[in-house]
Each structure stands twice: as C-alpha cells, then as structure tokens.
Structure 1
Amino acid sequence: MSDDTTYKGSCFCGSVQLLVSGEPEAMGYCHCDSCRQWSAAPINAFTLWKPAAVHITKGEENIGTYNKSPQSFRKWCKTCGGHILTEHPELGLTDVYAAILPELPFTPGLHVHYQEKVLPVPDGLDKFKDAPEEIGGSGIRLSE
C-alpha cells in the first residue's frame, strides 16, 4: 500500500473491514433499478476506485458474491448481510459504497442512470441518461 491517504470501511457488524488508498476515480449517485433493488433505497451513493486501491484487511473469507450480470459482482458480509462493494470488471473499477467510508469526504460529481430515477435530485450536478461516454454510456445529459 502506498503512503497516500487511506480510509477505513466495514460492513454493518465489522466482520469485514477494508482500506481504500488515494483518491477515488469518481463519486456520485446511481439511480439504476439494480442498484436501487440491491440497496433497498431510491438512490445509491458510489465511490469508484481502481481495484489496486481497495484492500480487504479483515474477513475476506466472510464475503459473499452475487453477479446478476458480468458488469457487477456485488459483495456483502455473510454474517450481517451488510453491503461492502461492487466490482465492475468491464470498467476496471470497484465501487466501495460511500456509506461504509465514514471519514471519506463524499463530494459527488454526477448522477448516472438518471432516466430510471424514482427520486428527483435537483442539486445542479450532471444527470446522465445512462453514463458518461468514457465509461461506455451514451453521454446524454438529462435535465433536472
């Protein structure tokens, strides 16, 4: 691990713990149906990291995985069911849920999959129909 800034995170019960190092590649909100169903919430706050920046420090054997599609490998604690992260191999990024990184200053920069929203968020951030072009989306922006 480098000497960069690190942030600690854990599942709900603390059986699984992790560190992320450096700064995230992006932070924002996802409104897609899959994230909403997975998180049981109207919106999901994400922090995207290069996989090398994410280090499980405790409880790796206690992590369950589910992948509904090849784009997302969702990870959770087998003890408490607390969500930990989602690996996005096609993007080369790992989403560590913002809620499990309490010391990370969460500064969202965009909304993705806004066409699927159930909760409008008029916050002045870019709202993408799906995702920015550079990560395989259409790049189409929607109004608030």
Structure 2
Amino acid sequence: MTTHKASCFCGAVEFTVTGAPVAMGYCHCESCRHWSAGPVNAFSLWQPDAVKVTKGADNIGTYNKTPVSFRKWCKTCGGHLYADHPPLNLTDVFAAMLPSLKFEPAVHVNYQETVLRIKDGLPKMKDFPAEMGGSGEALPE
C-alpha cells in the first residue's frame, strides 16, 4: 500500500495517509473558501483509519462550525491539516498537504456557491452527489 506523508507549515504536526483516497475533487462552498483562503479547495477524501497522526497530536486544534466538518490545524503555526466529516465517515486531507499524491479530481461539489467558474469537463454538482446525501443535481459548466 502507498503511504503519503504530510506536515503542517512548521513541521510540529506530521501525519500519513495510506492506501488510496475514496474520492478527489474541488469544493466551492463558502466554508471551504473561507477556511482555505482561496476561491476553491482541492480535496482528497479518505477512510478515517487511513489517516494516522505520527507527530504532534497534542498540538492539533479543532474547530467545527457545523456538525459536518471538524477542521484540524496546528496550534503552533496555524497551518491547516485535514477535516473530519463524521456524518460521511470520511476525512478530507487537503490535496495541497500531500505533495506525493497524484491529484486526479473527478468532481466539483457545491458549485452553486462558486466564485470561480472552472471549465475542465468535470461534473459540476449543485451541492453533493446523491450517494453523499446531496441532491445529485449537476449544473452546467
């Protein structure tokens, strides 16, 4: 199995992900945009047991604006790490955290909230795919 290593901005927190992501894509929701300080957030979703903190677990802060996302960051540098999504039983490791992962996005989610239109031929979901509890409605590119 493939293992990818990640760390926060200062290196106080390190973690690994093992195996393959469940899904990869882009999120356009307001929460992800604000959290990432960018117009879109590239995500990779993993089974929670694939994510292992290997250094600095006591230095991880958590914030949850909603019960859907528990966002994790380093208490020393403020660097973002990952987000747990308990209702989905998935962990979102921001794609930029995994330089050795070949990022292969398959979908855009929450495209109804986009501030940056992207024409890349990938499906643009209004919210989430139906299998993830969303409407399953696709929007035009």
The interval holding the TM-score normalised by the smaller chain is: over 0.9
Q: Hey, what does 1:116 align to over in structure 2?
A: 113
What's the CA shift string for 1:91-126, capped at 9, x where partnerless? 000001100100000000000000000000100000
Whichever residue aligns with residue 77 of structure 2, its letter is C
Instruction: State the partner residue of 2:42.
Output: 45
Runs of at least 5 residues in structure 1 that lack an aligned partner in the other structure: none
Structure 2: segments with no counterpart, 5+ residues: none
1:65 aligns with 2:65: no
Q: 1, 4, 7: which is aligned to 1:7?
A: 4
Question: How far apart, CA to CA, are the structure 1 residues paired with 2:2 and 2:130?
Answer: 29
Instruction: Provide the aligned length of Structure 1 versus Structure 2.
Output: 141
Identity of aligned residues (%): 65
Deviations 1:54-107, CA, capped at 9 Å, x for gaps? 000001000000000100000000011000000000000000110010000000
Alpha-carbon separation, structure 2, partners of 1:56 and 1:88: 17
CA–CA distance in structure 1, aligned partners of residues 22 and 4 of structure 2: 14
Alignment of 1:68-87 (within 5 A): 68-87=65-84
Per the normalisation by structure 1, the TM-score is 0.97
Any idea what the Cα deviations from partners look like across 1:8-28, whole Å, max 9, x if unmatched? 011111111110000000000
Deviation at 1:135, TM superposition (A): 0.4
- For residues 74 and 80 of structure 1, the distance between their equivalents in structure 2, rounded to whole angstroms, comes to 15
**Aligned partner letter, 1:112:** V
Equivalent in the alignment of 2:123: 126
Q: Where in structure 1 do 4 or more consecutive aligned residues deviate above 3 Å?
A: none
Letter in 2 for 1:111: H
Matched, 1:16 2:13: yes
Task: Give me the CA root mean square deviation.
Answer: 0.4
Specify the code of the residue in structure 2 equivalent to 1:56: V
